[in-house]
Amino acid sequence: MNSNELLNIIRTSREKRLFAIVGPNTVGKSYSLRFMHGQCNGESLLIDEDGGYTCNITRSKVQRVDNKYLYIDESNRGKDSFEAEQVEIDESSRAIISVAEDCKRQLNVKFISSGSKKLNNILDIILSLNLNNIKIFFFDEPENFLDDQSIKLVQRIFESLVINDKTVVFVTHNPRLLEVLRIDIDSIYLLPKMYGDYINLTFQQIENIYRSTGTEISGIKLSTLPGYGDILEYSKPEKVEYLFLKRLLSSQEFYRSLFYNEIFLLEGLTERCVLEESPKLIQHTQNVFYCNGKYQAPFLIKLFVALHKHVVGVFDRDDGKEGKLPYEINSYLNQLVMTSNNLLSIKYIPQDLESFLGIDDELYREILGDEYSTNKRDQLAKQYKAYISLFKIRKQPALISNLEALFNTSSYSSWTTE
C-alpha cells in the first residue's frame, strides 16, 4: 500500500477515524504525512514536529467571540464602517474547543519545557483556526518530549476530534501513545523501510492466522495425548479468543515491537529474566517478546513475520520428551524457518536454563527454606523458577559469560534448527 492508497482510505473511511503511522527513523514517515496533506486541498491541517502548522484552507485563521468565528481584515481596521465577517461555530467545533481549553488549563505553562511548548502550540493552533471546514488533522510526533501525564492530554485532544467526526492521522515513535489511545491494529500502518509500502494487518487477518495455526498444531502426530492446558491454547471459546487477541494486540509489549526491526522471542519468563541481566545478550535493534510457553510461539512467529519483522526465537529442545507436544512442535517450528523468507532464526537450548545454570535442591532449600515438605518445595520451585535462576546469576556473576556464549545473539544468522 503506497501513500496515495492510504490517503484514499483516510479520505473515504467512515468507520475508521484514527490512523497511526509507525516505523523506524529515516524511512519517510514525515515526508509521507506532508505529501498526503498536500493532496487534501481545502480540507486538512498539518501540525509538524516542531509545533508549526500549515493549513490548506483559505482564510482559516480567526478570532472567537461568543459562538462565532470572526474574520478580520486588518487593512479595514479603524474605519467607521468596519465590521468583521462572522461565521457560526458549529456544534462539533464548539465541543473540540471546549476540550482544548480545558487541556490548556491543565498544562503547566509556568515552567514550560520543550514538549509542553509544542503541546501548548498545538492547543493554540486548534483554538485560533476555523475548525468547521477542517476534515483531516495530520500530526507529526505530537508526543515528543512529553511525560506520561501530558501524553494523556494528547489522547484527550485526539479523542475529541474523532468523537466529533474529524479524522486524525499521526506519526509517532512512542509505543506509550499507542497504548494510551488503545488504538486498534486495523488503524496502525507500518512503514518498515524507505520507499517501501505500508503494511496493515486487520484484526480479522490476525484472527485467521491464530485459528489456522491452531488447526495445524492439532494435526501434529503424538505418541501421547497433549495435556488439557495444551489443547486449550488454540481452542478457546470464541469470545475468550477475541478478548485474548484484543488484549495481546493492545499491550505495550506488542506496540513496542512495532518500532523494532527484530523481535527476540523467548519461550519462558526464566529466559527473559536471565537475558535482561546482561546488556550484551540483547542487541539494540532487538525487542524482547515473551511468548509464555512454546505453544504460542508459532502464532507469534507468523504474526511478526507478516509484519516483516526478523524473528529470533530461543526455545528448549525438550530432549527426552519425544512423542510429546513440547518436543514434536520443534519440527513445526523448523518448517516455519523454511517458509519465512529468511525472516526467522531459531536457537534450541539442549537443556532448560535451570539445568544449564546448575540449579539444584540445595539452592531451592537456601531460597525457600526447610519448613516446606519436598512436594510443596517442588511446587514453589516450579512457580518461582525464573526468580531462583536470577538469584543464582546474581550470586555467581561469572555465569553471565556462559550465557553470552550460549545465546550469542550477534551471530543469530548462523543459528541452525538442530
164: left (phi over 0), alpha (psi -120 to 50) or beta: alpha
Rounded CA gap, 333 and 265, in Å? 13
Q: In what order do the strands lie in the sheet with 44-47?
A: 53-55, 44-47, 136-140, 167-171, 18-22, 188-190
For the whole model, what pTM was predicted? 0.84
Consecutive H or E run containing 302: helix 297-306
User: Given this model, what pLDDT does residue 108 score?
Assistant: 66
CATH code assigned to 3-68+89-190: 3.40.50.300
The angle that helices 374-383 and 361-368 make with each other, rounded to 10 degrees, is 90
The residue behind cell 506496540 is 255
247 to each of 141, 244, 250, 267, 351, how far by Cα in Å? 25, 5, 5, 19, 32
Give ∠ CA 78-83-89 in degrees, rounded to 5: 130
Give pLDDT, residue 140.
94
Residue with cell 509489549: 253
- The pairing of strands 286-290 and 262-266 is parallel
Q: What pLDDT shows up at residue 235?
A: 67
Residue-level pLDDT at 185 = 95
Nearest to 307 by CA among 340, 356, 271, 346: 340
* 418 residues of the chain, pLDDT tens digit each: 889 999 999 998 888 899 999 987 888 888 899 999 999 888 899 999 888 899 888 777 888 888 888 886 655 555 554 466 888 999 999 999 999 999 988 876 666 666 678 888 999 999 999 999 899 999 999 988 788 888 999 999 999 999 999 999 999 989 999 999 999 999 999 988 877 789 999 999 999 999 999 888 877 766 555 554 454 466 667 888 889 999 999 998 999 999 888 898 888 788 777 777 776 666 666 788 888 778 889 999 999 999 999 998 888 887 777 777 777 888 888 889 988 888 888 888 776 777 778 777 777 777 777 776 667 767 777 778 788 888 888 888 888 887 777 776 555 444 444 4
Separation CA 107–CA 118 (nearest Å): 11
* Residue 18, helix vs strand vs coil: strand
Q: Bridge partners of 63?
A: 70
* DSSP for 186-221, written as a single string: GGEEE--STT---B---HHHHHHHHHHHHHHHHTS-
| Beta pairing class for 310-316 and 262-266 | parallel
**Which residues, listed in sequence order, are joined to residue 290 by a DSSP beta bridge?**
266
Q: Whats the size of the chain, residue-wise?
A: 418
Q: How far apart are CA 186 and CA 13, in angstroms?
A: 12
Angle at 385 between CA 379 and CA 391, to 5 degrees: 130
Q: What is the pLDDT of residue 282?
A: 66
